[in-house]
């Protein structure tokens, strides 16, 4: 199932606009775009909402016919338990997280113990926990961690664009992660040379432009039949985010790119 998420509305929900969009407004626009899945992901105000506000947001999502997923960072016991409770409020069947959070960087051994304990409750609740691929943790380590925990309810949130910063090839990451993938963050990116042909800029581009990332990262959903796809593209419908300024290309002949 294809959906949208908080990163697709990043700028419009931020303090860089005069009137940031509320969660209800984001859900209504998601429905207006014909989308029935939304991942509330790394949206800090979620943790400040009262019980009444949370129930109201969950009710509005149901009224609009939108399935909710949640997203956070970290594998701390209390933190994962809190998001499992939030999943119950929203009837969410998936929580995306990352092994590290801003204030907690467990060793892989510590993370395995925390996840093993947490997955008992996630399994009982019928909620999947998907850990995202990103540059701070090599993909082989993430795979070993998930395999060590050995829960069918624990898998990968595949975002191959993140791993480029760790010098991993997106196609390799997709191939390795496919059997464990539960969720996909679909976004496109491109490299462009800086002026003077010294160095490169790696930046987001509208979905479908300049790379085969979208086709590559969506492949696991076809192979496993289990992954939901959530777009965080700078070019998703409805002007969801403000695209970054693309670097100008230097004049003169360009090198041949093998893709």
Q: Is the pLDDT of residue 247 over 80?
A: no
Question: In 178-212, where does DSSP find H-type helix?
Answer: none
Instruction: Assess if residue 259 is contained within a domain.
Output: no
User: What span, in angstroms and rounded, lies between the C-alpha atoms of 167 and 122?
Assistant: 33
Instruction: Assess if residue 225 is contained within a domain.
Output: yes
CA–CA distances in Å: residue 209 to residues 14, 139, 236: 26, 25, 12
* Predicted local confidence at residue 219, as pLDDT: 53
The whole-number average pLDDT for the span 153-159 is 97
The residue length of the chain stands at 259
DSSP-derived secondary structure for 132-188:
EPBTTB-HHHHHHHHHHH--TTEEEEE-HHHHGGGT--HHHHHHHHGGGEEEEEE-E
Instruction: Assess if residue 254 is contained within a domain.
Output: no
Q: Is the pLDDT of residue 242 over 50?
A: no
Domain count, the chain: 1
Residue range(s) defining the domain that contains residue 107:
2-231
Q: Are 142 and 131 in contact (CB under 8 A)?
A: yes
Instruction: Assess if residue 115 is contained within a domain.
Output: yes
Which helix (H) or strand (E) segment is 218 a member of? helix 213-224
* Predicted local confidence at residue 182, as pLDDT: 97
The whole-number average pLDDT for the span 51-56 is 98
Q: Is the pLDDT of residue 76 over 80?
A: yes
Instruction: Assess if residue 236 is contained within a domain.
Output: no
Interval 166-199: pLDDT, tens: 999 999 999 999 999 999 998 888 888 988 888 9
- CATH code, domain with 45: 3.20.20.150
* Predicted local confidence at residue 215, as pLDDT: 58
Q: Are 81 and 118 in contact (CB under 8 A)?
A: yes
The closest of 193, 183, 182 to 232, measured between CA atoms, is: 183
Range from 100-104, 123-127, 203-207 carrying the lowest mean pLDDT: 203-207
Instruction: Assess if residue 155 is contained within a domain.
Output: yes
Instruction: Assess if residue 160 is contained within a domain.
Output: yes
User: What span, in angstroms and rounded, lies between the C-alpha atoms of 129 and 132?
Assistant: 10
The closest of 110, 161, 153, 103 to 132, measured between CA atoms, is: 161
Q: Which residue has the higher pLDDT, 238 or 230?
A: 230
Q: What angle do CA 146, 147, 151 make, to 5 degrees?
A: 75
Q: Is the pLDDT of residue 14 over 70?
A: yes
Instruction: Assess if residue 258 is contained within a domain.
Output: no
Q: Which residue has the higher pLDDT, 196 or 65?
A: 65
DSSP class of 241: S
User: What span, in angstroms and rounded, lies between the C-alpha atoms of 89 and 76?
Assistant: 20
């Amino acid at each position: 199932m294809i959906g949208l998420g908080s990163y697709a509305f990043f700028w419009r929900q931020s303090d860089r606009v005069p009137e940031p969009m509320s969660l209800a407004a984001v859900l209504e626009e998601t429905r207006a775009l014909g989308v029935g899945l939304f991942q509330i992901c790394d949206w800090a105000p979620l943790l400040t909402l009262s019980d009444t506000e949370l129930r109201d947001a969950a009710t509005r999502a149901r009224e609009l016919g939108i399935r909710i997923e949640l997203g956070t960072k970290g594998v701390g016991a209390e933190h994962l338990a809190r998001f499992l409770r939030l999943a119950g409020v929203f009837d969410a069947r998936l929580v995306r997280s990352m092994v590290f959070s801003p204030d907690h960087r467990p060793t892989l051994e510590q993370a395995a113990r925390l996840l093993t304990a947490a997955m008992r409750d996630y399994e009982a609740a019928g909620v999947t926990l998907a850990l995202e691929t990103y540059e701070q943790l090599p993909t082989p380590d993430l795979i070993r961690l998930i395999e060590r925990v050995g829960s069918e309810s624990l898998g990968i949130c595949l975002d191959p664009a993140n791993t480029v910063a760790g010098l991993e090839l997106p196609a390799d990451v997709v191939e390795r992660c496919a059997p464990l993938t539960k969720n996909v963050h679909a976004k496109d990116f491109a490299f462009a040379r800086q002026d003077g042909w010294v160095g490169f800029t790696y930046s987001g581009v509208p979905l479908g432009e300049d790379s085969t990332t979208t086709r590559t990262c969506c492949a696991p959903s076809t192979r496993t039949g289990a992954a939901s796809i959530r777009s965080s593209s700078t070019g998703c419908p409805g002007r969801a985010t403000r695209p970054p300024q693309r670097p100008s290309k230097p004049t003169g002949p360009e090198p041949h790119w093998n893709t």
